Chains A and B, each alone.
Chain A
Amino acid sequence: MSENKAAPTGDSPALPRPPRSQWRDVWDQFKKHRGALIGALIFLSILLGVFLGPLIYPQDARLVPTGRDFIRLRDMRPIYVLLWDSGAKVDWAHPLGTDNIGRDLLARMMLGGQVSIAVGLAAMALSVVLGTAIGVLAGFFRRLDGPLMRLTDLFLALPLLPLLLVAVLLFREPLKAAFGVEGGIFVLIVTLVGLTSWMQTARIVRGDVLALKEREFVLAARSIGTPPRRMIPRHILPNVLSPIMVSATLGIASAIITESALSFLGFGFPPDFPTWGRLLNDAVDRMQLFPERVIWPGLAISLTVLSVNYIGDGLRDALDPRIRGR
């Protein structure tokens, strides 16, 4: 697709420069946004740490020690506590300490991060596909515009958090039976978050499609008899790609927050299956004694969301051709 989208930016006859691809331009502009670049680096390192970390870090996130080990290994503090409390119970084998039944916190953070990020990506994909489909259909076919946009308005008027809580409660058991404990809740949360967050994308895409339909190249394509099923993938979708990419990025952030909020309220993943929100929820009761168990998962969520938001901000600037020249 990048070949047929070679932008006419650099190839005016006065400039002998070779034509540059649009994505080079986008990348150059993206690099200028310092926050976005730092955000991308942080997000990449979180991804690497969470998915490749378990390969080099030896502890098992689900191992509950038994017997004397249980007493020895439980409630261990992070090693940095030694800085102000030399008598603290620490072990270099558990750099972030262990929880109240002796599971390693760093390993649980990695496992939890895998789940949180996977939920974020999958829910974002679902919501972007839905939002794009509805937006393109509403913008392209005038007959569908009224009903689909009315549907979008209705969805926007739903109280989402209460409905999510109720829906999790309702469908948890049947899906558990169908996909297993962890798979069921994963499918449930991804579906629910995806189904309740497509509206903004649909609205933005519809607006852009409406504007595109008036352009000459669409008229030209139509006058040579291009049917809609060819027109949409060939001419419409590539031109609404930038708002879709921006809302996809921001969608990851909101999906991660929603999942963590559900887990925090006790309506998400089961306790032996850590996500960042779940770890935070488990730790709240004893945060006076073990503040680190609250702070590390919370920092992980916040840092991920912050970096993703900055990436979205940078992408928005980079994909906007009016800003790109500057």
Chain B
Amino acid sequence: MLNYTIRRLFMAVPTLIFISIVIFLLLELAPGDPMAQVPLTVPAEVKQKMREALGLGEPAPIRYWKWLTQIFWVEPLHLFDSLFGTNFSDGYQRAISWQTRSPIFDIIAQRIPQTLWVVGVAYVVAIVIAIPVGVYSAYRQYSLFDNVGTFVTMIGFSVPPFFSGVLVIVIFSVWLGWFPSIYDTTLRVTDWDSFLAQLRQMVMPVMVLALQITSQISRFMRASMLDNLNLDYVRTARAKGVSEPTVILVHVLRNSMIPVATVIALGIPSIFGGAIITEQVFKVNGIGQLLIGSIEANDLPMVQTLTFIFAVLIVLFNLIADIIYGILDPRIRYE
């Protein structure tokens, strides 16, 4: 198992390098100039000096290398320092945003809790709903429940979040007035009332995200259950006189969860991508909204780093999915 994990880990390195090169080269073409906001009265040679101070004077390979060291060496050192009060990172230049002139990772650290909170809760809600729905609709295939479930998952598949989000805002906050349409990130949960307020503002974004995730996972769950339900071991278990709940929930469910577990792991990074739109609709100031804002403001280092973080998430969760598969299904490991 360890061998398998290490092999997978090494295969992830070239992927990450390729992606970082693609992102860097793509942004290298960008027309953005960090000096665009500087007044026209500033002479050209001063602007050139300012550009060089931002590290723009050097050739592309050197800047690429510097960017990589900032992400993989300086920032972890800085994190270590702030955790343990040491000062290893003194004298190293941190990655700086052009828009705010503050370290990129500080801004990301401010934004990421909101994203994680909304996305994480949505994912948990979706899994809790999707698995029972998938199991039951496979168990009673072509029943009313199954048909309705299939239709609802098809809708969850087809209605894009920028419409379902806007629709629930129109219905629940404009017409019914139940929930606030804007996610207030300054809200601190201190007592029961503020907890309720937090809960109310989370309902709509979480539900919109969860609808999408639920439809994907429950479709996989249903298909995987259907594959397993007619196998010989199920017949054996029934013939032995094992009770029906035990057959379904212990024998079949455990085996059907193998592909579903990997789908769940693989889905996490794409949810961060989908959260870009949901955050925009509900005005959650998470990292998706940060990305849109910095693209509009031509803040290239920020865009570069955020896109790369999304890529790291994808590679990381691909790795986790592979490892989960290896743990759950021993046949995979030795191939």
Which B241-266 residues have C-beta < 8 A from chain A? none
User: What is the CA–CA distance of A301 and B164 in the complex, to the nearest angstrom?
Assistant: 11
Which B265-313 residues have C-beta < 8 A from chain A? 269, 273-274, 276-277, 280-281, 291-292, 295-296, 303, 306-307, 310-311, 313
User: What is the CA–CA distance of A253 and B160 in the complex, to the nearest angstrom?
Assistant: 11
Q: Quick one: CB contact mask for A258-302 with B, threshold 8 Å, 1 for yes? A: 001100111100000000010011001001100100110011011
Q: How far is the CB of A79 from chain B (nearest CB, A)?
A: 20
Specify the chain B residue showing the minimal Cβ separation from A288.
B174
Q: How far is the CB of A116 from chain B (nearest CB, A)?
A: 12
Which residues in A have their C-beta under 8 angstroms from that of B154? 35, 306, 309-310, 313
| A173→B160 contact, CB < 8 A | no
Most buried by B among A260, A291, A313: A291
In the complex, the number of residue pairs spanning A and B with C-beta atoms less than 8 Å apart equals: 119
Q: How far is the CB of B108 from chain A (nearest CB, A)?
A: 14
| B18→A257 contact, CB < 8 A | no
Which residues in A have their C-beta under 8 angstroms from that of B71? none
Q: How far is the CB of A34 from chain B (nearest CB, A)?
A: 10
| A265→B166 contact, CB < 8 A | no
Which B155-186 residues have C-beta < 8 A from chain A? 155, 157-160, 162-163, 166-167, 169-170, 174
Which residues in A have their C-beta under 8 angstroms from that of B295? 165-166, 169, 267
| B170→A261 contact, CB < 8 A | no
Which residues in A have their C-beta under 8 angstroms from that of B314? 157-159
Q: How far is the CB of A303 from chain B (nearest CB, A)?
A: 8
User: What is the CA–CA distance of A261 and B26 in the complex, to the nearest angstrom?
Assistant: 21
Which A141-179 residues have C-beta < 8 A from chain B? 153-154, 157-163, 165-167, 169-170, 173
Specify the chain A residue showing the minimal Cβ separation from B304.
A166
Specify the chain B residue showing the minimal Cβ separation from A253.
B158
Most buried by A among B18, B151, B166, B303: B166
A166-B26, A166-B295, A166-B303 in contact; A153/B170 too (CB < 8 A)? no
The residue that A162 contacts in the complex, of B151, B280, B291, with Cβ under 8 A, is B291
Judged by a CB distance under 8 angstroms, whether B144 is at the interface is: no
Which residues in B have their C-beta under 8 angstroms from that of A280? 162-163, 166
The residue that A294 contacts in the complex, of B166, B280, B303, with Cβ under 8 A, is B166
Which residues in B have their C-beta under 8 angstroms from that of A153? 15
A162-B307, A169-B295, A170-B30 in contact; A265/B158 too (CB < 8 A)? no
A154-B19, A163-B307, A265-B292 in contact; A302/B174 too (CB < 8 A)? no
| A161→B273 contact, CB < 8 A | yes
User: What is the CA–CA distance of A163 and B27 in the complex, to the nearest angstrom?
Assistant: 10
The residue that A170 contacts in the complex, of B26, B160, B170, B274, with Cβ under 8 A, is B26
The residue that B22 contacts in the complex, of A158, A265, A306, A313, with Cβ under 8 A, is A158
Judged by a CB distance under 8 angstroms, whether A46 is at the interface is: no
Which residues in A have their C-beta under 8 angstroms from that of B157? 305-306, 309
Specify the chain B residue showing the minimal Cβ separation from A257.
B160
Which A34-82 residues have C-beta < 8 A from chain B? 35
| A298→B29 contact, CB < 8 A | no
| B170→A291 contact, CB < 8 A | yes
| B163→A302 contact, CB < 8 A | yes
Specify the chain B residue showing the minimal Cβ separation from A161.
B273
Judged by a CB distance under 8 angstroms, whether B315 is at the interface is: yes
A154-B18, A291-B170, A301-B160 in contact; A173/B31 too (CB < 8 A)? yes
Most buried by B among A157, A277, A284: A157
Specify the chain B residue showing the minimal Cβ separation from A304.
B158
User: What is the CA–CA distance of A261 and B276 in the complex, to the nearest angstrom?
Assistant: 10
Which residues in A have their C-beta under 8 angstroms from that of B167? 294-295, 298
| B311→A159 contact, CB < 8 A | yes
The residue that A301 contacts in the complex, of B163, B269, B306, with Cβ under 8 A, is B163
A165-B291, A302-B158 in contact; A158/B19 too (CB < 8 A)? yes
A residues near B (Cβ < 8 Å) are 35, 153-154, 157-163, 165-167, 169-170, 173, 253, 257, 260-261, 264-267, 277, 280-281, 284, 287-288, 291, 294-295, 298-299, 301-302, 305-306, 309-310, 313
Q: Can you name 23 A-B pairs with beta carbons within 8 Å?
A: A157-B15, A157-B311, A157-B315, A159-B311, A159-B313, A160-B273, A161-B276, A162-B291, A162-B307, A162-B310, A163-B23, A165-B291, A166-B26, A167-B26, A169-B295, A281-B162, A287-B169, A288-B174, A294-B163, A298-B167, A302-B158, A302-B160, A306-B155
4 A-B pairs besides A166-B30, A265-B280, A295-B170 with CB distance below 8 A are: A157-B311, A162-B273, A302-B160, A305-B157
Closest 3 CB pairs of A and B: A159-B310, A298-B163, A306-B158
